[in-house]
Structure 1
Amino acid sequence: MFQRSRLALAAGAAGIATVLFGSLAAAAPAPGAPGAGDPYYPNAGNGGYDVSHYNIRLTYNPATDLLSGTTTISAKTTQELSSFDLDFLLPIKSIRVNNLPAQTRTAAVGEVVVTPPRPLANGADLTVVVQYEGTPSTVKDATGFTAWKKTPTTTLAVDEPDIAPWWFPSSNHPTDKATFDVSVAVPNGTEVISNGTFAGTTPQINGWTRWNWRSLKPQATYLTYIVIGQFEIRTQPAPNGQPIVTAYGEDLGDNAESARASIERTGEIIEFESSVFGDYPFEAQGGVASTGLNFALENQTRPVYSDRFFRRGANTSVISHELAHQWFGDSVSVQTWRNIWLNEGFATYAQYLWSEHENEGTAAEVAQYWYDFYPANDPFWQFVVAEPGSGNEFNGAVYDRGGITLQALRTKIGDDAFFTLLKTWTAQHRYGNATIEQFIALAEKISGKPLFDFFQTWLFTKGKPAEGPNGPAPAGLSAKAAHAKPKSIDQIQYTHEILAQQH
């Protein structure tokens, strides 16, 4: 009886091991790829598994910039794995894979290879628990860049295309989206803002408070953020009933009121953009105005705006840009970073549409102004929007030529087809990833027109297109009006100057 029990236990243990780690008799497991296959950033993301959820539980001391805690990654393998990679820069204290200690080594800066005690079967559930501690502001990536932002008053884990490696281990590419729980303990009197819905605060011992946030929809790692400091936090319902959470740094000074006059219109702007782009794709809304950065970023559900955008007064143009990204960039994300026009061109065109909505210049007038603004010999027209190159994703031409292109497309296929195209695009690729070529194919299908030459001219070829965004003669505009300066241009131009400075 005792012997038979031992054999049964051994057989049961073997069965459990097979479920968790796969059979050693199966085809030889292989290492997961160190990247997701993005030509611009070969080590971004990882192969061999797909993440479904991150539970990030941290403690952060603003006085010392010491960050410590645990991230638990829930995933499923997509091949038989002998090892897999994580994208991470902070010192690791321990890693467990399916409850068992795993070995780690650093293959490159920010590239951690994890070897579990046994190989992992294809299609197996995977739980990775990483404990770590470090000072993010002292950590640099392979280029010598530090994305973590620390000032005497504020800490920001905000940047694009990378921020996750400075504060949580991940598969850091937009093609591997997941849901998130973010929980950060800080000294009393300090606020923590993140994505999604606010899940409350819990008091800790010795004068600390834990802030909890939850993101319920698929979210890319670079769109996941925390801002820590002294903030005024406001909550109110949106027109669609969702929670709007806005926050304003207590050090905004003279820019505070203009920031509030802009960001507090978030619900109104989302309501307008929903009428153009389709149903808002996420569960919460909001925005954060802060010092310590010189750009804005479309963090999912709650963009972060530099106080610099509000130095000339209220600026709803930048709000319309970042909120449009909730559809174009956040919900429908790039398949690779080369497709950045799908993010920035569309968010820029949203500014044109908002200008028209506010009676400060029609989209046709704004696009025509920018087309006329740059002479044919300007370097602006020598930039290929559809192939920006690594590190050039935020060139001004991606924004402005990208926005002009969409007005030219609208002129070519007509309003009915154009706005049907926008809503169909966001619906078909909701929570997914896409390419420029897929957009072109959909535009041709909906319009019934061949558009290869059109897009070749506007996105893939150097030089100023001979025909402007409103056709040979600006549609519906007098020659004088075609070259007039719309009222919104100063705000749009100032916004783009700052946006282009993020790298």
Structure 2
Amino acid sequence: MKTPFLLLFMLLAGRAFAQEPAADFSTSDIAVLESRSAGLRLNAPGLRVMASNNFDVKYYRCEWEVDPAVNNIKGIVTPHFVMSTAGNSITLDLSSALTVSSVQQHGSNLAFTHAADALTITLQAPLGAGTKDSVTINYQGAPPPTFGAFVVTTHGPSATPVLWTLSEPYGSRDWWPCKNGLDDKADSLDIYITHPAAYKAASNGLLKSETAVAGAKTRTHWKHRYAIASYLVAIAVTNYNVLDNSVMIGATNVPFKTYCYPESQFTFQNGVQNTLNAMVQFSNLFGDYPFKNEKYGHVQFGWGGGMEHQTCSFMVNMGETLIAHELGHQWFGDKITCGSWQDIWLNEGFATHLASIYSEAKYPANTKITRTNEINNITSLPGGSVWVDNVNDVNRIFSSRLSYYKGSHLLYMLRWILGDATFFTAINNYINDPALAYGYATTANLKTHLEAASGKDLTYFFNQWFTGQGYPSYQVEWYPAGNSVQVKLSQTQSHASVSFFQLPVPLLFRNAGTNQEKLVVLNNTLNGQVFMDNLGFEATEVIFDPDVWLITRNNTLTKASGPLPVVFSKFGVECSGNSARLSWATTEEVNADYFEILASNDARHWDSKGIVPAVGNSNVENNYSFQIENALNQSYYRIKEYDLDGKSQETRIVVAECGAAMKDIVMAPNPVQSVLRIKNSTGGKRFKPVSVNHISGQVYWLNDNQIADSSSELSVDVSFLPGGLYILAFQIENGQLLKYVKFLKE
């Protein structure tokens, strides 16, 4: 009900697409397969990354000779680089199972050492920082089979030889010399593959040529001109059938090439249209397909899953979830790559979410049950964070429950909190940020863009949901009072790392007899919070989180037999000189103990000013008051009521500025939902509002041209602002700054 943007797309897309196929990979299947594959390389003996950080690779020229019937590679790789710091040597990653015959610089042989999977090259002379140069490495050998990065096997009824590579996360070094970590993308590369002429060779980028060479061989040239991580470089060779299609992305006709086994052509051809539909869908949501000037395509291979090699996902079959997941990685994983394996959710959580977006648009009837099943998976254990706390454990990195499903559902909750329009604006800004695009990113980078687009401080969210563990279970007590409803929200947490999960909680109230219903969203900021809402009808039932946005489990809904313990009928504050007098009244009290008076100067950090005993049990109006002396710096107030059993609830916040500084400009209401009314008492001087700043520093409104006469009342629309504390600055007619006034946007 907060998804108008996607809802329209789903309604339109749902009419255009066919029925769901019977068989497909689930996200759990994909995660398990990816973790098994990565585990072969991640758990291998020896250090994973040996390359030095004193140089930045700009370009690779890769010349490889392979035969899919033979576990061997012969290569000439020329990295072009810029020295980051001065030095006389560089180190690349390369498996010690391979043999380096020579390394040259400008045609001259260089000294080198090759041990412990590190190739250290001594340059002809020291190079200064910023110097561009290149070296050429000749090598060959049988890539080690233990890691599964270079596979020679067979396919089909005739046992046709096939070769493929699969390098995530650290397998590139097993078959070519490169920088093997998550800290350096080459700006571009050229790949030349010499192979038996009976076969086709697939790789990254654009196919430039297939040239016959001596020995009944073909030299296939692929050219790629986008930044690429080494683990996304891949080749595959066998008797592929090649299917050519295309799709319009914006004004660009993007080629789509399928390399499939002859025996699988029918199923791979049938998968093309699903992929093209998803390319258009994702381009509309996140910006054009990131490599549209080259191609996208599928390359069939024999490993049981998929891999998002840049511009050419390697696929075992055409399951729709697998198609959408690997395609989603072209934006989240390839265009922007996680900057550390602790942030793997930026790859896998996003790809999982994009697959869900695709499925929900095509099969909207399945949305709720699919989300529910995924949340049941997430909450099947009490702990576990999206942040990877052990990068030495491959099962932890590629945990389907945490990195895939929980990562995806963090995005669901962010969509719910921010709204789809703001969320997708933030994600577009993130994926297209020039400082991040075609490079690396961390969760902090994503958070920055979400906060900039929304104007909200999301530190609490990432503390609770990214680094924190577990989930909340809600206890909802509700009581219908005529056409209104009282609700008390309490929660328990499954893990001690989070003491409270702050979320807007959706409750759908219904009258079963009249079919009236209303969605009420309760901004739950503390445990035991009590709310009241005018429904316009008498509720007979309530549904918790009807559209399944929140990660929760074991929630209970209890219809109270009578009014909730304390019902506040009024609460206000008045100033008398430097003193603030708070007054409030209750119409119902059950088991009430006392009221605590809280004051703050920023509506976030609260000080206790005293307590007032409650009547305890009453069904008549009871009036209370409390006076705070010297209240100059305390402008925000609330009352916290405690029951005898220790439960508590808080009132809304009220605002007052007491003392000599208060009366030249008066604002009301404060807190405000939509329009601020501002009265000027500056003695005939003209004034205007200059800026509205969130306390985090975000500017939302600057240099408004409205100017009011000294006797007038100025109305300012603040409905567009997200909830939070703001500072409104004014100038008087001579340009001198008059004052700052704080207000709270609900």
- Which of the five TM-score ranges fits, normalised by the shorter chain? 0.7 to 0.9
Deviation for aligned residue 1:69? 2.4
| Offset, 1:263 | 3.9
Whether 1:448 aligns to 2:455 is yes
Alignment pair present for 1:473 and 2:506: yes
Structure 1 119/460 Cα, relative in aligned 2: closer, same or farther at 3 Å?
same
CA distance in 2, matches of 1:438, 1:91: 41
Q: Does 1:383 align with 2:358?
A: no
- Which of 285, 288, 291 pairs up with 2:298? 288
Conserved? CA contact 1:204–1:210, under 8 Å: yes
User: Per-residue displacement from partner, 1:84-142 (whole Å, max 9, x unpaired)?
Assistant: 1001112111111343321111352x211111232222211111100011112xx26xx
CA separation in 1, counterparts of 2:502 and 2:301?
Answer: 37
User: Deviation string for 1:39-85 (max 9, x for gaps)?
Assistant: x9762653111111111111112222221121111111111112110
Q: Could you say what secondary structure the match of 1:117 adopts?
A: strand
Map of 2:425 onto structure 1: 420
Question: Could you tell me which residue of structure 1 aligns to residue 443 of structure 2?
Answer: 436
- C-alpha distance in 2 between matches for 1:316 and 1:470: 33
Q: Does 1:149 pair with 2:166?
A: no
Cα distance between partner residues in 2 of 1:222 and 1:321: 18
Mapped partners of 1:259, 1:482: distance in 2: 38
Q: Which amino acid aligns with 2:218?
A: T
Alpha-carbon distance change, 451 to 84 in structure 1, aligned in 2, over 3 angstroms: same
Equivalent runs, 1:36-435 vs 2, <5 Å:
43=49, 45-89=51-95, 90-108=98-116, 110-136=117-143, 139=144, 145-152=147-154, 153-178=161-186, 179-240=188-249, 241-252=253-264, 256-282=265-291, 283-307=293-317, 310=318, 315-361=319-365, 366-375=370-379, 378-379=380-381, 381-390=382-391, 391=394, 392-396=396-400, 397-428=402-433, 429-435=436-442
- Deviation (angstroms), 1:364: 6.5
Deviation at 1:297, TM superposition (A): 0.9
Could you tell me whether the CA contact under 8 Å between 1:62 and 1:155 is conserved in 2?
yes
Amino acid at match of 1:457: Q
Task: After TM superposition, give the deviation of residue 301 of structure 1 in Å.
Answer: 0.9
The count of aligned residue pairs is: 427
Matches of 1:41 and 1:403, distance apart in 2: 31
Higher strand share: 2
Give the AA of the match of 1:439.
L
Report the equivalent of 2:676: none
Whether the 8 Å contact between 2:71 and 2:151 is mirrored in structure 1 is no
Query: What is the TM-score with the length of structure 1 in the denominator?
Result: 0.79
Which residue does 2:24 correspond to in 1?
none
Q: Distance in 1 between matches of 2:132 and 2:364?
A: 54
User: Does 1 or 2 have the higher relative contact order (CA < 8 Å, sep 6+)?
Assistant: 1
State the AA in 1 paired with 2:459.
Answer: F
Residue number in structure 1 paired with 2:491: none
TM-align CA RMSD: 2.6
Instruction: State whether residues 94 and 176 of structure 2, in contact with CA within 8 Å, keep that contact through their aligned partners in structure 1.
Output: yes
Distance 2:94 2:460 in 1: 43
What's the CA shift for 1:347? 0.7
| 1:186 maps to amino acid | H
**Partner amino acid for 2:114?**
T
AA aligned opposite 2:329: H
The answer on whether the counterparts of 1:333 and 1:433 sit within 8 Å (CA) in structure 2 is yes
Shift of 1:464: 2.2
The SS at the match of 2:127 is: coil
Which is higher, the Rg of structure 1 or of structure 2? 2
The amino acid that maps onto 1:411 is W
TM-score (normalised: structure 2): 0.54
Which range is displaced more, 464-473 or 114-123?
464-473
State the AA in 2 paired with 1:300: Q
Amino acid at match of 1:356: E
**Cα distance, 1:348 vs structure 2:** 0.7
Instruction: Provide the C-alpha distance between the structure 2 equivalents of 1:131 and 1:327, rounded to a whole number of angstroms.
Output: 34
Does the Cα contact within 8 Å between 1:266 and 1:286 map onto a contact in 2?
Answer: no
Gaps of 5+ in 2: 1-45, 155-160, 475-500, 509-518, 521-541, 549-746
1:422-479 residue CA offsets vs partner (Å, 9 max, x unmatched): 1111110211211101211221121111211212222212212447999533777984
Q: Retained in 1: the 8 A contact 2:287–2:428? A: yes
**Paired AA for residue 294 in structure 1:** G
Instruction: Decide whether aligned partners of structure 1 residues 264 and 287 sit closer, same or farther in structure 2, where only a CA change above 3 A counts.
Output: farther
Separation of aligned partners in 2, 1:151 and 1:145: 15
Deviation by residue 1:190-232 (Cα, 9 ceiling, x = unmatched):
1110011111200011211111111111111111100111111
